[in-house]
A and B are shown apart, each in its own frame.
Chain A
Amino acid sequence: MSGFWGVARAIIGREFLRFIHQRERFLAALVRPMVWLLIFAAGFRAALGLSIIPPYQTYITYETYIVPGLCAMVLLFNGMQSSLSLVYDREMGSMRLLLTSSFPRWWLLFCRLLGSTAISILQVYTFLALAALFGIVLPLPGYIAVLPGLLLGGLMLGALGLVLSSFIKQLENFAGVMNFVIFPMFFLSSALYPLWKMAESSPLLRDICAFNPFTHVVELIRFLLYLQINWGALIWVLGSTVVLCTIAVWGYDPARGLMKRKS
């Protein structure tokens, strides 16, 4: 059993070392949500009136509203970044080293997922600290309560990245992922506007948003930040994580999966 933990430690440690060596990646991961928070939200607050909706018990500023969505955005972008590095690893060969380890493949992939999620969480907390510096302070215990939600959301989006990496043949195809996965997932969610607001313009759009697992990651985070549990969101995220992890393990199965092709 100690061997299993040793593998987990090594894979997660490697992810951290790689992350530390890529300072610009860390900076980009922070600048992106801060731009949304300080520029986009400042301009948008006048245009959007928010009523009191759970978990909020009073009127809130638009900046406060979009913080959970931006936390989820950090998880989403990092999940995709992880997927990109998996494709890179496959092209560069280091994926071969990982997959020829004598440990079960599902465990190796899970450790990789855990490593990228740990880095996502670190980025989210740094973002929350910066937001607090700019005056967007959330209930103090909420910062701790949100941790399981970040972990689960990070695992779900990381698993999505794993699935995509098993489908994407070459690094060049990654731009398509940006257009067809990241942007629709982010904009068709409750990250920037509440679903009732979406329903005012189009009930169909609202239904699509409600079906989008990313919406449920956002809501899970939003409620946990205010020390509440959104059970519906929790079940959605848990279910999506299980489904995506299963597809990822299938995708990397040497006998059945998508690795079986001429590279």
Chain B
Amino acid sequence: MSNTRQSAEANPGLAVLELSFHYGTKAALDTVSFEISAGTFCGLLGPNGAGKSTLVSLLTRLLVAPDGEISVAGCNLRQAPRKALGKLGVVFQQPTLDLGLTVYQNMTYFAALHGLPRSEVPARIDAALDRLNMRERAGERVRDLNGGHRRRMELARALLHDPSVLLLDEPTVGLDAAARQAITDHVHDLATQGLCVLWATHLTDEVRDDDQLLVLHRGQILARGQTSDLRGDQTLSDWFLSQTEVPA
């Protein structure tokens, strides 16, 4: 994306080059390319079935495409998957918490999965939970937390290993307006602090005017650029509907 705060070459975030993927004969993604620099919040808007979830699966290496390249903070996902995944923080659309375990136990499990040194883990967990005002809940079972707190915990966990790129797949699904607002604001702040953020959603009110925007439709990038430039005089919702011609 040309008008990001710093060029992708100088400050690499997430780069995708000519990525295609098929389920059998059905194309889910068709030569998708984009770049997002560090310190950028990029909304990935697309109606249901646009290919967002497939893209997220490819970016997290749950799937591997035969064609195309993905680079996470300068690390090629195909050539150096461990290094690339180590620089990626993910909040999936589906909850990925162990409900029977406490917040702290969930965080410890994640820390081990990313090979964090044991001596550093307690301090990192405290800091991550502090950042989202969740420290006092460290000993609570996840089952006892409400939806908003569970999401905040997942966000805290995704940041535990200091990733350079944060990927969120419809992270506000099922949350009330206040929790949605809080998470959206917090992630925008993280981008201001230097994180590269890709936020997949179909809710236009989660994307701000000064955010970068990618519109994915039927497996292809339909539009890209700064949100205010793209939407012009229309509301983002109207503009998005006019582009995709399906209910948002």
Contact = CB atoms under 8 A, between A and B. Distances in A.
Contacts of B82: 102-104
A6 B118 contact: yes
A86 B205 CA distance: 36
Give the contact-size bracket for chain B.
20 to 34
A6 B115 contact: yes
A121 B95 CA distance: 31
Given A18-B100, A94-B96, A102 B86 contact: yes
Contact of A101 (B85, B92, B94, B118): B85
Contact of B113 (A2, A7, A255, A262): A7
B64 interface: yes
B105 A17 contact: yes
A14 B63 contact: no
A195 interface: no
B61 to A, nearest CB: 6
A260 B21 CA distance: 10
A259 interface: yes
A14 B90 CA distance: 21
Nearest to B86: A102
Contacts of A9: 112
B110 interface: yes
B60 A18 contact: no
A212 to B, nearest CB: 35
Contacts of A140: none
B96 A103 contact: no
Which secondary structure dominates where chain A touches chain B? helix
A2 B118 CA distance: 10
Given A93-B92, A97-B110, A260-B63, A102 B98 contact: no
A102 B85 contact: yes
B132 interface: no
Interface string A246-262: 00000000110001111
Contacts of B175: none
Task: Kindly list the 4 A-B residue pairs having the minimum CB-CB distance in the complex, ordered from nearest.
Answer: A10-B112, A93-B94, A3-B115, A255-B64
Interface of B: 23, 28, 60-64, 66, 81-83, 85-86, 88, 90, 92, 94-98, 100-101, 105, 108-115, 117-118
Interface of A: 2-3, 6-7, 9-11, 13-14, 17-18, 21, 92-94, 96-104, 108, 254-255, 259-262
Given A21-B100, A104-B82, 10 more contacts: A2-B117, A10-B111, A92-B95, A93-B95, A96-B92, A97-B92, A100-B62, A101-B85, A102-B114, A255-B63
25 contacts: A6-B112, A7-B115, A10-B109, A11-B112, A14-B101, A17-B100, A92-B94, A92-B95, A93-B94, A96-B60, A97-B92, A97-B96, A97-B110, A99-B62, A100-B62, A101-B114, A102-B81, A102-B82, A102-B85, A102-B86, A102-B114, A103-B113, A254-B64, A255-B64, A262-B28
